[in-house]
Structure 1
Amino acid sequence: MKNILFILLFLSTSVSFGQGLLKGTSDVLRKIDQLNLKNQDDESLKILDKALKNPATSPDDLIYLYTYKSGILLDQDSLKLSSNLVDQIFVQAQKTTDSLSQAMALRSRAYLNSYLNLTDQVIKDSKDALKLLESRKDQNRLKYYLNYLIYATYSGWNESDKMEHYIKECEKYALAENNQNFIANVYLGYSSVFLNRYRKDKGKSDLDSNYFYLQKAYDLFEKFPEEVSSNTFVIACINMANYLLEFSEGPIADRKETAYKYLAKAEEELKHDRARFSRWINIYGIKSDFALKEGNIPLAEQYLLEAINRLDTRKDNNLLRLEYSVYKHLSEISEKKGDLNSALNYQKKSESILKQNFDQRQIASAQKLEVQYETEKKDQQLMLLGETAELRQRQNYLYGGLAVLAMLGLAFMFRSYHFKLRYSIEREKQLSKEKEDAERNAEMQVRLEKEEQARLKAEQNLLELKHSQLQKESLANSLIIDHKNDMLKQIQNKLQDGDSRDIQKLLKEETLLNADFEDIKWQIQQLHPTFFSQLIERANQKLTPLDLRYCAYIYLQMSTKQIAQVLHVEAQSVRMFKYRLKQKFGLSKESDLETFLQEVGS
Structure 2
Amino acid sequence: MKKIPLFLFFIFFSICIKAQQNYTDSLRQILASNPEPERAIAVQQQLADWYRASELYPEAIQMAELSLKNSKKISSDNLGTVKAYWILSNIYTNTENFDRSKEYIDKAYSSAKKQNNTLALAYAQYASAVLSSTLFDQKGTLKSLNLALSNIPDQDKESLLTARIYYFLYGLYTEWNDEQKSLEYIHKALLFAQKSSNKNMLANVYSAISVVYTFRYEKTKQKKYLDSIMQPLDKTINMFHRYPGQIMNNTYANTLINKASYYLKYYDSNKPDIQQKIRNTIKDALRATPSSNDELIASGYGMLSELSMMENDLLAAEHYLATAYEQMSKKKKPYYHTLINVLGSLVKLSTKKGDYEKAFMYQQKITDYSNLLFDEQSAATTKRLEAQFEFGKKEREIKALQEKADDQKKKKYLLIALIAIGGIGAVFMFRSYYFNLKYSLAREKQLTAEKNEAALQIKYEKEEQARLKAEQELLTLQQQKLQNEVMANQLHLQHKNDVLLQLKEKLSNQESVNIQQIIREETLTDNDFEKAKFHIQEMHPEFFHNLNKQAKQKLTTLDLKYCAYLYLGMDTKMIANLLNVEPKSVRMTKYRLKQKFDLNAETDLVNYIKEIG
Q: TM-score range by the shorter chain?
A: 0.5 to 0.7
Measure, in 2, the Cα distance between the counterparts of 1:350 and 1:183. Answer: 38
> What do the CA deviations read for 1:60-112 (whole angstroms, capped 9, x no partner)?
33321121122233334444443343333334334331111100000001111
Measure, in 2, the Cα distance between the counterparts of 1:310 and 1:163. Answer: 36
Alignment of structure 1 residues 140-219 onto 2, 5 Å: 140-219=159-238
Q: Which of 309, 316, 321 matches 2:337?
A: 321
Alignment of structure 1 residues 458-469 onto 2, 5 Å: none
Paired position in structure 2 for 1:431: none
Paired position in structure 2 for 1:440: none
Q: Which of 58, 65, 82 matches 1:49?
A: 65
> What do the CA deviations read for 1:423-455 (whole angstroms, capped 9, x no partner)?
xxxxxxxxxxxxxxxxxxxxxxxxxxxxxxxxx
Measure, in 2, the Cα distance between the counterparts of 1:208 and 1:44. Answer: 39
- 1:325 corresponds to which letter in structure 2? N
Paired position in structure 2 for 1:303: 320
Paired position in structure 2 for 1:27: 43
> What do the CA deviations read for 1:321-360 (whole angstroms, capped 9, x no partner)?
1111111111111111112222122122112211211111
Measure, in 2, the Cα distance between the counterparts of 1:172 and 1:194. Answer: 17
1:140 Cα offset (Å): 1.3
Secondary structure of the corresponding residue to residue 312 of structure 2: coil
Name the count of aligned residue pairs.
358
CA distance 1:364–1:37, shift in 2 (3 Å): closer
CA distance 1:76–1:197, shift in 2 (3 Å): farther
> What do the CA deviations read for 1:373-419 (whole angstroms, capped 9, x no partner)?
12235999xxxxxxxxxxxxxxxxxxxxxxxxxxxxxxxxxxxxxxx
Measure, in 2, the Cα distance between the counterparts of 1:361 and 1:70. Answer: 23
1:277 Cα offset (Å): 4.8
Q: Name stretches of at least 5 consecutive residues in structure 2 with no aligned partner.
A: 1-35, 397-613
- 2:243 corresponds to which letter in structure 1? F
CA distance 1:36–1:367, shift in 2 (3 Å): closer
Q: Does 1:97 align with 2:138?
A: no
Q: Tell whether the 8 Å contact from 1:80 to 1:367 is kept in structure 2 after alignment.
A: no
Measure, in 2, the Cα distance between the counterparts of 1:338 and 1:71. Answer: 50
Paired position in structure 2 for 1:122: 141
Q: Tell whether the 8 Å contact from 2:203 to 2:247 is kept in structure 1 after alignment.
A: yes
Q: Tell whether the 8 Å contact from 1:188 to 1:214 is kept in structure 2 after alignment.
A: yes
Paired position in structure 1 for 2:76: 58
1:230 Cα offset (Å): 2.2
Measure, in 2, the Cα distance between the counterparts of 1:335 and 1:267. Answer: 27
Q: Give the number of the structure whose alpha-carbon radius of gyration is greater.
A: 2
Q: Tell whether the 8 Å contact from 1:110 to 1:126 is kept in structure 2 after alignment.
A: yes
Measure, in 1, the Cα distance between the counterparts of 2:295 and 2:233. Answer: 20
Measure, in 2, the Cα distance between the counterparts of 1:323 and 1:251. Answer: 28
> What do the CA deviations read for 1:198-233 (whole angstroms, capped 9, x no partner)?
344544433332122222221221222222232221
1:361 Cα offset (Å): 0.8
Measure, in 2, the Cα distance between the counterparts of 1:228 and 1:37. Answer: 11
My pick for the range that moved more, 230-239 or 250-259, is 250-259
Q: Tell whether the 8 Å contact from 1:37 to 1:227 is kept in structure 2 after alignment.
A: no
Paired position in structure 2 for 1:283: 300
Measure, in 1, the Cα distance between the counterparts of 2:50 and 2:394. Answer: 39
- 2:306 corresponds to which letter in structure 1? D
Paired position in structure 2 for 1:82: 101
CA distance 1:254–1:75, shift in 2 (3 Å): farther
Q: Tell whether the 8 Å contact from 2:350 to 2:356 is kept in structure 1 after alignment.
A: yes
Measure, in 1, the Cα distance between the counterparts of 2:395 and 2:216. Answer: 32
Q: Name stretches of at least 5 consecutive residues in structure 1 with no aligned partner.
A: 1-19, 381-602
1:41 Cα offset (Å): 4.0
Q: Does 1:236 align with 2:262?
A: no
Measure, in 1, the Cα distance between the counterparts of 2:384 and 2:54. Answer: 29
CA distance 1:279–1:167, shift in 2 (3 Å): same
1:177 Cα offset (Å): 2.5
CA distance 1:371–1:39, shift in 2 (3 Å): closer
Q: Tell whether the 8 Å contact from 2:240 to 2:247 is kept in structure 1 after alignment.
A: yes
Q: Does 1:336 align with 2:352?
A: yes
- 1:339 corresponds to which letter in structure 2? D
CA distance 1:352–1:84, shift in 2 (3 Å): farther
Q: Tell whether the 8 Å contact from 2:109 to 2:124 is kept in structure 1 after alignment.
A: yes
Q: Tell whether the 8 Å contact from 1:195 to 1:206 is kept in structure 2 after alignment.
A: yes
Q: Tell whether the 8 Å contact from 2:44 to 2:66 is kept in structure 1 after alignment.
A: no
Measure, in 2, the Cα distance between the counterparts of 1:24 and 1:321. Answer: 42
Q: Tell whether the 8 Å contact from 1:39 to 1:276 is kept in structure 2 after alignment.
A: no
- 1:292 corresponds to which letter in structure 2? M
- 2:360 corresponds to which letter in structure 1? L
TM-score (norm 1): 0.55
Secondary structure of the corresponding residue to residue 95 of structure 1: helix
Measure, in 2, the Cα distance between the counterparts of 1:293 and 1:50. Answer: 55
> What do the CA deviations read for 1:481-520 (whole angstroms, capped 9, x no partner)?
xxxxxxxxxxxxxxxxxxxxxxxxxxxxxxxxxxxxxxxx
Paired position in structure 2 for 1:262: 281
Alignment of structure 1 residues 171-570 onto 2, 5 Å: 171-249=190-268, 251-270=270-289, 276-316=293-333, 319-376=335-392
Secondary structure of the corresponding residue to residue 376 of structure 1: helix
My pick for the range that moved more, 154-163 or 257-266, is 257-266
Measure, in 2, the Cα distance between the counterparts of 1:136 and 1:215. Answer: 28
The higher relative CO (CA closer than 8 Å, separation ≥ 6) is in: 1
CA distance 1:84–1:294, shift in 2 (3 Å): farther
- 1:313 corresponds to which letter in structure 2? K
Measure, in 2, the Cα distance between the counterparts of 1:83 and 1:322. Answer: 31
1:23 Cα offset (Å): 4.2
> What do the CA deviations read for 1:107-154 (whole angstroms, capped 9, x no partner)?
001111121222222121111111111445411111111111111111
Q: Tell whether the 8 Å contact from 2:77 to 2:115 is kept in structure 1 after alignment.
A: yes
Q: Tell whether the 8 Å contact from 1:67 to 1:104 is kept in structure 2 after alignment.
A: yes
Q: Tell whether the 8 Å contact from 2:108 to 2:121 is kept in structure 1 after alignment.
A: no
My pick for the range that moved more, 26-35 or 307-316, is 26-35
Percent of aligned pairs sharing the same letter: 26
Q: CA RMSD in A?
A: 2.7
Measure, in 2, the Cα distance between the counterparts of 1:324 and 1:199. Answer: 28
Q: Tell whether the 8 Å contact from 1:39 to 1:231 is kept in structure 2 after alignment.
A: no
CA distance 1:148–1:95, shift in 2 (3 Å): same
Q: Tell whether the 8 Å contact from 2:190 to 2:205 is kept in structure 1 after alignment.
A: yes
Measure, in 2, the Cα distance between the counterparts of 1:52 and 1:179. Answer: 22
Measure, in 1, the Cα distance between the counterparts of 2:115 and 2:391. Answer: 21
Measure, in 2, the Cα distance between the counterparts of 1:81 and 1:199. Answer: 43
Q: Tell whether the 8 Å contact from 1:191 to 1:213 is kept in structure 2 after alignment.
A: yes
Paired position in structure 1 for 2:434: none
CA distance 1:135–1:230, shift in 2 (3 Å): same
1:53 Cα offset (Å): 4.8
